[in-house]
Structure 1
Amino acid sequence: MDSLAETTKNQVVLKEEEEEEEEHFSYAMQLVTSAGLPMMLLAAIRLNVFEIIARAGPGAQLSPSEIAANVSSENPNAAAMLDRMLRLLASYSVLTCSVATDVDGDHAIQTPTRVYGLAPVGQVLCTEQNKGRRFTKLLLALLQDKVFIDEDAVREGGDPFHRAHGTHAFEFLGSDPRFNEVFNKTMIHHTAIVINRMLERYKGFEHLKTLVDVGGGLGMNLNIITTKYPSLKVIILICHMLYNMHQPILV
């Protein structure tokens, strides 16, 4: 009996170890493939997938072929490629996915096909009035820009960006007009969304006379705040990088 109990106990322990190992393996694979989501999301936004579905009406569900017909493409495999992208987005609840029956050709063969609709998250991504779609597109483009992802991680210490590009990130903005535009557009739209939402609820500026924005960049924060509170005196404190020192400048 003792031998049987010991054997059963060992089997339970072994099973638990196998399940734990399987969980670790699954999570490792999830991390390895996690870059696929932002890549597919950016591609879907650039292809106007969310707008195409939204224009079909409330609660609309479209097949990949119907979506592909509204995308400027000469690729005969566009629908199949879109289907793979949309399946991934549906697995993250960005889109809804269900199976409908499609009639194929003159012989009325009923073929099951996936159809996709906008989940609540997808509705946010295609809403123009809150600039959600534009900001998301800009932020995804910024985070996937070659400036950030071209180089390997630093192995010998130091600042990763400086090691990769030979300069500080903010100094690099002054030498690369294209990336400077990408960065500033993203920050402007991010600021507009966050600050406007904050001002809807936060009333802490009502009794202030002076407001200082440390590292205020192009001044978008203060511009939005003073639109609602025009009597505020505002100061932008800009920190210029000189070697490892900060030089404050009052503007």
Structure 2
Amino acid sequence: MNLIKGEGEVSSNKELLQAQELLWHCTFSFIKPMSLKCAIELGIADIIHNHGQPITLSKLISSLPIHSSKAHCIQRLMRILVHFGIFSTQAPQEDQQEEKEEEKYYLTLTSRLLLLKDGPFRATQFCLAELHPRLLAPWQFLSTWLQKGDDDDPTPFKMVHGMNFWDDLPTADPTVKCIFTEAMASDSHLISKVIVEDGKKVFEGLSSLVDVGGGAGIMAKAIANAFTNIKCTVLDLPYVVADLKGTHNLNFVEGDMFKKIPSAHAVLLKWVLHNWSDEEATIILKKCREAIIESKDEGGKVIVIDMIIDENSMLEKKLVETQLYFDMLMMINVTGKERNKKQWENLFLAAGFSHHKITPIEGLRSIIEVYP
């Protein structure tokens, strides 16, 4: 049987095999995150780091909390993690090969982000949160959800778990809640470093700022420390900020961003709006606009840190692919989405803003300054 690729054209064997390879690649792509999850849970990055130098396979195996009958599997796990770029290998020198010197593994910048104790940003929790069985379960029912109306089930997460993500989180298994909270904190550590160092002009001249949905205040603390003249406020739900202590220029306020945001010179929305539908995001932005207009300071603005999808951009294919992953993630677990420039513009106009300025930063996100 011939497979037709176009009018009167028959696909070659090579093309058929390439098509099969693409399907296989998509089908087995789950192996990448599952292998990463295993490495995190076994603490491989910390073992290599604590060793103080590249580690041999035999030394790594002896340091791992695994059963002796599974020792032969570690080489295969490390091989694929090296292939993904999580770890690197150091081949034995030519003059040592006859002595059967073992290949050694060492950390890359990526695996340094996985360090639990000495890691600068502890990205492990973000990976574990997104790969938790509770968040993975809804993916199994995406096609079922697509065949239903969304009156009762606006997301696959709600269809599977019986409540939406934000209502489920406070009442979920304490372990899940803890992992998610720490995951958001780890991202804030990283992005606050980038923003304060590379995007400091965004905060120059501000007298007060409200970090909406700011969690434990990591982003706000970084801003308050770098710009001591800015009075920072973190607004979040009671269960998030109830026991948090402020400083002379940082305080925590319990509240609901859908109802009221404290007045300030500027309002910060870091990775907030992508969690919400256009209708919900418009409400949030209107509350932000009210907050900066109520402030006596002139030149008020809303600072949005979020992704801008551009499938035709010069970004690396891998970066665009990751943005599209996040877009699907928003569709599965919450009502939000990742937006392109036009969608962001429409959102700002719908909320009553007059203009905005986009400043791309390294990685997947941009800084958007939005003015009333």
Query: TM bucket by the smaller chain?
Result: 0.7 to 0.9
For 2:59 and 2:208, locate their aligned partners in 1 and report how far apart those are by CA, in whole Å.
55
What residue ranges of structure 2 are gaps of 5+ in the alignment? 1-8, 239-256, 264-372
Shift of 1:83: 1.2
For 1:99 and 1:209, locate their aligned partners in 2 and report how far apart those are by CA, in whole Å.
55
Shift of 1:198: 1.9
Shift of 1:20: 2.5
What residue ranges of structure 1 are gaps of 5+ in the alignment? 1-12, 102-108
Q: How has the CA–CA distance of structure 1 residues 201 and 179 changed in structure 2, closer, same or farther, with 3 Å as cutoff?
A: same
Question: What is the one-letter code of the residue matched to 2:56?
Answer: L
The aligned runs of 1:17-96 (5 Å cut-off) are: 17-58=12-53, 60-63=54-57, 65-73=58-66, 75-96=67-88
The 3-state SS of whatever aligns with 2:206 is: coil
Shift of 1:236: 4.2
The aligned runs of 1:101-116 (5 Å cut-off) are: 115-116=104-105
What is the CA deviation profile of residues 145-188 of structure 1, one whole-angstrom value per residue up to 9, with x for unaligned ones?
A: 12211232223242222212222211111212332222111111
For 1:214 and 1:161, locate their aligned partners in 2 and report how far apart those are by CA, in whole Å.
24
The 3-state SS of whatever aligns with 1:174 is: helix
Residue 187, structure 1, aligned to residue 172, structure 2: no
For 1:212 and 1:250, locate their aligned partners in 2 and report how far apart those are by CA, in whole Å.
7
1:246 to 239, 258, 265: 258
For 2:260 and 2:160, locate their aligned partners in 1 and report how far apart those are by CA, in whole Å.
27
Question: What is the one-letter code of the residue matched to 2:126?
Answer: L
For 1:222 and 1:66, locate their aligned partners in 2 and report how far apart those are by CA, in whole Å.
43
For 1:237 and 1:50, locate their aligned partners in 2 and report how far apart those are by CA, in whole Å.
35
Question: What is the one-letter code of the residue matched to 1:139?
Answer: F
Question: What is the one-letter code of the residue matched to 2:130?
Answer: L
What is the CA deviation profile of residues 14-55 of structure 1, one whole-angstrom value per residue up to 9, with x for unaligned ones?
A: 6x6332322222122122111111221122122222232334
The residue number in structure 2 matching 1:5 is: none
Q: How has the CA–CA distance of structure 1 residues 220 and 121 changed in structure 2, closer, same or farther, with 3 Å as cutoff?
A: closer
Q: How has the CA–CA distance of structure 1 residues 174 and 50 changed in structure 2, closer, same or farther, with 3 Å as cutoff?
A: closer
- Answer whether contact 1:239 1:247 (CA < 8 A) is retained: no
For 1:173 and 1:224, locate their aligned partners in 2 and report how far apart those are by CA, in whole Å.
26
The residue number in structure 2 matching 1:215 is: 213
The residue number in structure 2 matching 1:171 is: 167
Measured on the aligned residues, the alpha-carbon RMSD in Å equals 3.2
Q: How has the CA–CA distance of structure 1 residues 22 and 98 changed in structure 2, closer, same or farther, with 3 Å as cutoff?
A: farther
For 1:221 and 1:147, locate their aligned partners in 2 and report how far apart those are by CA, in whole Å.
27
For 1:46 and 1:166, locate their aligned partners in 2 and report how far apart those are by CA, in whole Å.
29
For 2:117 and 2:87, locate their aligned partners in 1 and report how far apart those are by CA, in whole Å.
18
Residue 149, structure 1, aligned to residue 136, structure 2: yes
The 3-state SS of whatever aligns with 1:21 is: helix
Q: Which moved more, 1:138-147 or 1:223-232?
A: 223-232
Identity over aligned residues, as a percent? 21
2:111 to 115, 122, 128: 122
TM-score by length of 1: 0.74
For 1:98 and 1:150, locate their aligned partners in 2 and report how far apart those are by CA, in whole Å.
38
The 3-state SS of whatever aligns with 1:246 is: coil
Q: Which moved more, 1:214-223 or 1:21-30?
A: 214-223
Shift of 1:66: 1.9
